[in-house]
Structure 1
Amino acid sequence: MLCVFNGDVMVLSPSWTTYKPQSQLAGHKAIVIHTKQEDEWRLTPSLVEQVVMENKLSPHRLLIMCNPDNPTGTSYQAHHLNQLSEVFRKHNIIVLSDEIYARLSFEGKHESIAKFYPEGTILSTGISKWASAGGWRLGYHIYPDKLSEMRKAVASGASHTYSCAPAPVQHAALWLYKWTDEVQDYVLHERRILHAVALYTFRELTSVGVKVVMSTAGYYMFPNFEILRPALNARGITTGNQMCDAIMNEASVALMAGGPAFLRPVDDLTVRLCYINFDGGKAMQASRKRGTEGPLDDDFVVEHCRTLMEAIQALKKWVETQLDSERE
């Protein structure tokens, strides 16, 4: 899609690691819009207005957004999308909405910008996340009638890159999209487990002063360890990558620095934390045994998601050690 698009491309910070490189490989100079933690890492109408005002944009404009988001885990509610749709419409901005995590919304109430801005939204999604089909990649775009010429151009360009999805994946996708009771039950327990793990992770990290926006879907969050900056500076640690190296070496927890991979500044102390380091099959069996009434508690996480729990506790202890060293 980026290869056939002729115009300006905008991406968010933080954002998934490949949006900007893909734009550059397609010959675009991606314009980065920096979202804020106080806005729960969401794009706002004022930020859109600002980027339009500060840049000499071509008449053709494309913005890539991920909802629910990777790496932050944040989502957009109806009122957010309604306000954004007005500014997108005003400035003739096409939106590529990556909604690959939509079915993993903890509350099962995902809202799509396509509902509010149908004429200018390209919806992108697939089966790899919600159906636990990592590696079995089958994705698709949905184009509005107004962008039918772009759809034709994308289909033509894609035909020179690949033929079709493998036959076994096509059959699996057809079965999944029948949305049978079995598939719905799987997704229900999947969301329930991820929600419990996200809450546990959020509570444990915020209890020691780490700033975290609570995830609303998927399996990522974006903690900010700014509270440790004085202690880390004293150790000569001034970048996110250096901090992640220290955490790996001293606590055996692997994290990805927010900058530069996720388009945050290099000295930013944000990280992407992926909270699925546990046996999902066993957790799924345990969730089904408990029935579907009510949420899962911390005891469930401790018992059935133990490797993840131990990692979060190790990370929490590491934070406490840095704070203690600063006080000394």
Structure 2
Amino acid sequence: MYRKVEQSQTLFINTQTQKMVDQNREVFRFGFGQSPFMPPQDVQSALGNATVHKEYSSVQGDPELREHIARFHFQHNGLRTRAEDVLVAPGSKILIFSLLMAVEKADVLIPAPAWVSYGPQAQLAGHHVITLPTSWEKRWRITADALQKAVTSKKCPDSILILNYPGNPDGLTYSREELMELAHVARTHGMMVISDEIYGLLDHKNTHLSFAAFYPERTITTTGLSKWCGAGGWRLGAALLSEGLEPELKEALLGIGSETYSCAPVPVQMAAKVAYQDYATIKSYIHWQTRILKAIGHYCCEKLVNAGIKVHPPEGGFYLFLDFSEFQDQLKKRGIATSTAMCSALLDEKGVVLLPSQAFGFEPSFPGARLAYVDFDEPPSDLPFDMKAHAPKISGGIRALVDWVRDL
């Protein structure tokens, strides 16, 4: 017998979308969250110059790169981590899985909506998953009360909270007060927190706060090059361990890494040294991206809200989480009873690719979907961003989505 492990919905939808494009169908790619921005030119050049590096690095990663990462995140938002507590791997995704594998048995607390891989990874690691409910009214944020309630009903001695902000699939973040309240509950129960801050550098106001600043005792911050540096396929992630964590955790992570991925690709590590060399030199590149992403996100949000779709304005990253609850009666009259069926109808009728809310931890009947607003080519850095000129596929896709809703 084999394990039943479904393919990641985000990767699956990207493959299916490409098939439609190959068939010459008009498709609006809102399903896959891949940054359209290219890495800075000096980072690209560094990767090209590093092809001579065919050796393995240590499992933990190049020492100089770890120094750069620790200093970079301190410069960015004051996150304090020693280089010896930084782990580098081929993507933050494998680091999160390694963290879950390093713990023998735990309750893994996952807010809904949440990134599609948290739940499957926790289940593969043999943990008990507890879904934390959220609501439109609470901006899809978990509250301290909800976290407290979940912890009191746990089944295992250990508990792990996975926090992701700015969030995938919602594009929203947490305030200082919200983080402080969540940290208080985490501290009270001594839980481990995996704070997935892969979109932290794409906070639209450039005011991202790391959870480890409020709960340094047992927080692991995960990040990487894929989002802010536009280098998803390069596969370079990092985990920043707080000093209060047990040394045994780091030992377990290095052991797991040594038996699985061995090390991150060394040429990519060499290029990452340039990317992480100094936050001050990369700051304008990041702010250029966030200015464009904020403009696109708010354009999409305004159009969708005017059409009656419930959606909160984005605060980071490049996602919107759409709530079609106001159209539930019309959807039922058309025989559409699940978010998957809704997204299939949108794809078939309008060529609009969305990812159904079921993939993010909701019941199948909840009519929600994620929209990734990255279907555009990287614009010149010295021009103001214009939707029609630089993002015609996004404006066309939003128009098609709005027309579909109005015809329900």
One fold, TM greater than 0.5? Answer: yes
Residue 155 of structure 2 corresponds to residue 57 of structure 1:
yes
Partner of 1:270: 368
Partner of 1:288: 382
Q: Secondary structure at the match of 2:222?
A: strand
Partner of residue 301, structure 1: 387
Task: Kindly indicate whether residue 161 of structure 2 is the aligned counterpart of residue 75 of structure 1.
Answer: no
- Alignment-derived partner of residue 239 in structure 1: 338
Aligned AA (1:134): G
Q: Does 1:208 align with 2:302?
A: no
User: Does the CA contact (< 8 Å) of 1:66 and 1:98 recur in 2?
Assistant: yes
Task: State the distance in 2 between where 1:105 and 1:124 align.
Answer: 15
Deviations 1:173-197 (A, max 9, x none): 1000113665322211111110000
Match of 2:402 in 1: 316
2:182 aligned counterpart, secondary structure: helix
CA displacement at 1:220 relative to structure 2: 0.8
Counterpart for residue 124 of structure 2? 25
1:179 aligns with 2:278: yes
Q: Does 1:45 align with 2:144?
A: yes
Displacement, 1:84?
Answer: 0.8
Distance apart, 1:58 and its partner CA: 2.9
Match in the other structure for 1:90 = 188
Superimposed CA distance per residue, residues 211-236 of structure 1 (whole angstroms, 9 cap, x where no aligned partner): 00111111111010111111111111
Specify which of 3, 6, 16 is matched with residue 115 of structure 2: 16
Q: Helix, strand or coil: the match of 2:353?
A: coil
Indicate conservation of the 8 Å contact 1:2/1:23, yes or no: yes
Structure 2 counterpart of 1:156, from 239, 255, 268: 255
| Residue pair 1:113, 1:121 contacting (<8 A) in 2 also | yes
Distance 1:42 1:12 in 2: 8
Question: Which one-letter code corresponds to 1:310 in the other structure?
Answer: G
Paired residues of 1:189 and 1:288 also in contact (CA < 8 A): no
Amino acid aligned to 1:320: R
User: Aligned-pair distance for 1:303?
Assistant: 2.0
Q: Kindly indicate whether structure 1 or structure 2 has the higher relative contact order, using CA contacts under 8 Å at least 6 residues apart.
A: 2
Q: Work out whether 1:121 is the aligned partner of 2:219.
A: yes
Deviations 1:233-266 (A, max 9, x none): 111111111111111111110001101x111110
Q: Over residues 159-208 of structure 1, what are the superposed CA-to-partner deviations in whole Å (9 max), with x where a residue is unaligned?
A: 11012111221111100011366532221111111000000010000001
CA distance in 1, matches of 2:233, 2:199: 15
Are the equivalent residues in 1 in contact too, given 2:216–2:244 (CA < 8 A)? no
Q: What is the total number of aligned residue pairs between the two structures?
A: 308
Q: Which stretches of structure 1, 4 residues or more, deviate above 4 A after TM superposition?
A: none
Residues of 2 paired with 1:172 and 1:317: CA distance? 45
User: Following the alignment from structure 2 to structure 1, what is the Cα–Cα distance between the partners of residues 351 and 248?
Assistant: 51
| Residue in structure 2 matched with residue 230 of structure 1 by the alignment | 329
- Secondary structure of the corresponding residue to residue 314 of structure 1: helix
Match of 2:241 in 1: 143
Q: Per-residue deviation at 1:140?
A: 1.3
RMSD: 1.3
Q: How far apart in 2 are the matches of 1:225 and 1:36?
A: 13
| Structure 1 gap ranges (5+) | 291-295, 323-328
Map of 2:12 onto structure 1: none
Letter in 2 for 1:231: Q
Any conservation in 1 of the 2:216–2:243 contact (CA below 8 Å)? no
C-alpha displacement of 1:57: 3.5
1:180, 1:228 → 2: CA distance?
45
- In 2, Cα distance between the equivalents of 1:271 and 1:41? 13
Please give the alpha-carbon distance, in whole angstroms, between the structure 1 residues aligned to 2:188 and 2:244. 16
Asked if the contact 1:210–1:223 (Cα under 8 Å) also holds between the matched residues in 2, the reply is yes
Structure 1 residues 145, 181: closer, same or farther in 2, change over 3 A? Answer: closer
Report the TM-score, using the length of structure 2 for normalisation: 0.73
Q: Determine if contact 2:107/2:154 at 8 Å carries over to the other structure.
A: no
User: Which residue number corresponds to residue 294 of structure 2?
Assistant: 195
